[in-house]
Structures are given as C-alpha cells and as structure tokens.
Structure 1
Amino acid sequence: MNRTKHYSCENIYIVEAPSGGLLQVWRAHESSEYVEDADPATDVTNTRNIKIYKVDTTTEKHVEINSLENHVLLLGHNETLCLSAEEYPHLKANHTYFTDDYEEYLFGWNNNRRDIGIFDLANNSCEELVSPQLWSNWPTPIWITPSLTRL
C-alpha cells in the first residue's frame, strides 16, 4: 500500500482495530538541538504527534480518524495493542500509551532519557507516565500484555 506523509514520521505501527479492521498509527518525534561534541546522553527525543488512520485494504487507502472513542492504544518496541477502556478501567479512553522505541537509542547509547508517556488524542498533548523520566536504555522498555480472558 502506498503511503504519503503529511509530516516527519519516524515510526509507523499496524494494529487491529476494535472493529476487526486495521489501523495505521504514525508517531512523530522531535529531538533536542544537535551539538557535535556534546555527550550523546544530552540528546533528548520526545513524541510530538500521533496520528491514526483507518486502513481500507480493498481500496488501498487510509482515512485519518480523530478519536478511538472508548479504546486505548499501547505503542512500543515489542507490541502494539488496541484495548477497550471499559475492560481496563485504569487506562484512559482515547489516549495512547507509548514507550521509547527510537532505534538510535535502542541500539547505541545507554544513558539517554526515555520517551515514555501518555498522548491525549482529543487535544494532542502528552503527559508523563513515569516521573521522573528514566535515563537508561537497558533493558528496552516493553509493555506487559494483559490477559485478554476474563476470570
């Protein structure tokens, strides 16, 4: 499927939509200003935007959606999930929880601040998930997948 970018996008994820279709999620980062001789640990990357598109595999097009309604996205290096906020009441509906999966940091530098947070899709803003922010790359932050069966 051909894709076009409306802005700089470093990560693209595919996730199953609550309706059973596919969603394409675009995540854009912004980095602190590059200084040639600076310690790499001073380079900080933050998620600045998340856009979600519903994928129509028949027409090979995608349409931007502005709300997940009563659902939650989890984005990260190990897995991408879309969950019901009703089944997981501790998670905020219409929000995206993300862990750092910026490749340069995952495989290169050990002492950079991690980009971990919650993105509010209603007002395009981020809040911290972990405070203070973590500064170590090892191990890579991952989501622990909840059991989807009810007890």
Structure 2
Amino acid sequence: MKTIIGSLSYSRYIVQAPWGGLLLVWRSVEDIEEDYEADLPADHATFVRYTREIKIYSVDTMGKKHVEINSLDGHVLFLGHNQSLCLSTEQYPHLKENYTYFTDDDEAWLFGFKNKRRDIGLFDLKHNSREELVSPQLWSNFPAPVWITPSFTKLNFA
C-alpha cells in the first residue's frame, strides 16, 4: 500500500471526562492507495481511509491551554459521527482500558465514497497502534456507522 503524500487530515473532538474535565482529542487520518502500482498515477477510487494517530489533551479552561496526556487511567474513549464520550472501564469491564474506539466520520468521505471500506477500529493509546473492530468489513458501507448509548434508567421494562 502506498501512503498518499499530503493527504493527512485531522478530526477534532471535545469530550466531557467523567471526572469533570474536558478532553480535546485529535485524530489524524491518512488516505492510502490499496492497489498501489508504482508506475501508475494515483487513483482516488482505490484510496482507503486509515486512522494513523490519536492524541488526547486535557483542557485547562482557566489557564487557556491544553496539556497532552498519554493515559486515560481506567477509562476508554468513543469517537464518531454522532457523539464522542469517555467511559469508565470499572463500570464497563468488557471495554479495553486506555483504548479509543472510533468510527468513520468524515462526511466528505462518507458521501463521496459510499462503497469504500470504513475506518472502524480500536486505537491502543499505550502502544500507539490500532486494531480492526469489524473484520471482515461490514456488508453495508452506508449510512455512516454510529455509536448507540442506551439509557437504562429511561427504559420501561414493565
């Protein structure tokens, strides 16, 4: 696979931390040409999106600054199109601590390339590496994947 030079983009998220602070999250994504042949010009139809890096900053609103953090200390992040959130792995022990779960959320990419594979996965913040969440790829690439967070306190089981 060939990395397309100059095609790195960033998504930014503001997330409310369970401990009361705010987190600023930067996700860098690059376009990679799947069927790369050195002697052929780049073909946008063969590009795939690939999350390369996730950086997390604690926001100091009083000091008007942000400080990079390298660990979520017992928490996990969800990033995506509909919402982003931070949860405790103590409350949700099946989730991987210090990981970020992410979905494909670039609107231009989603609507321009409906039949492309989606960038859905987990990012290990400790080892700066990623894992596929859904493999093989989903049978449907459209609409955009979203996280669903049911509120069990509002459900009526009667």
Taking structure 2 as the reference length, the TM-score comes to: 0.82
1:130-150, Cα deviation, whole Å (9 max, x unpaired): 01123743111000114365x
Q: Offset of 1:19 from its aligned partner?
A: 1.4
Give CA deviations for 1:50-71 in whole Å, capped at 9, x if unaligned. 0000001111100000000100
Contact 1:109 1:137 in 2 (8 A): no
Structure 2 counterpart of 1:140: 144
- Superposed CA deviations along residues 13-46 of structure 1, whole A, max 9, x for unmatched, are 0001121110000000111149767362x21011
The residue correspondences of 1:72-91 to structure 2 (distance < 5 A) are 72-91=76-95
Q: Provide the identity percentage.
A: 65
1:11 counterpart residue number: 11
Counterpart of 1:119? 123
Give, as a single letter, the amino acid of the residue that structure 2 aligns with 1:30. Answer: E
Deviation larger for 26-35 or 121-130:
26-35
1:64-109, Cα deviation, whole Å (9 max, x unpaired): 0000010010000001010011111111011000000122222212
Partner SS for 1:59? coil
**2: CA distance between counterparts of 1:148 and 1:12?**
29
Question: Conserved in 1, the CA contact under 8 Å of 2:9 and 2:30?
Answer: no
Unaligned residue ranges in structure 2 (runs of 5+): 1-7
Residues 44 and 18 (structure 1), Cα distance of their counterparts in 2 relative to 1, 3 Å cut = same
Residue number in structure 2 paired with 1:20: 20
For 2:149 and 2:135, the matched residues in 1 are separated by 22
1:118–1:148 CA distance, 2 compared to 1 (3 A) = farther
Hey, what does 1:47 align to over in structure 2?
51
Structure label with greater radius of gyration: 2
With the length of structure 1 as denominator, give the TM-score of the two structures.
Answer: 0.85
Unaligned runs of 5+ in 1: 1-7
CA 1:71 to 1:98, structure 2 compared with 1: closer, same or farther past 3 Å? same
- Aligned residues of 1:110 and 1:136 also touching (Cα < 8 A): no
Distance 1:39 1:23, change over 3 A: closer
CA distance in 2: counterparts of 1:56 and 1:148, whole angstroms: 32
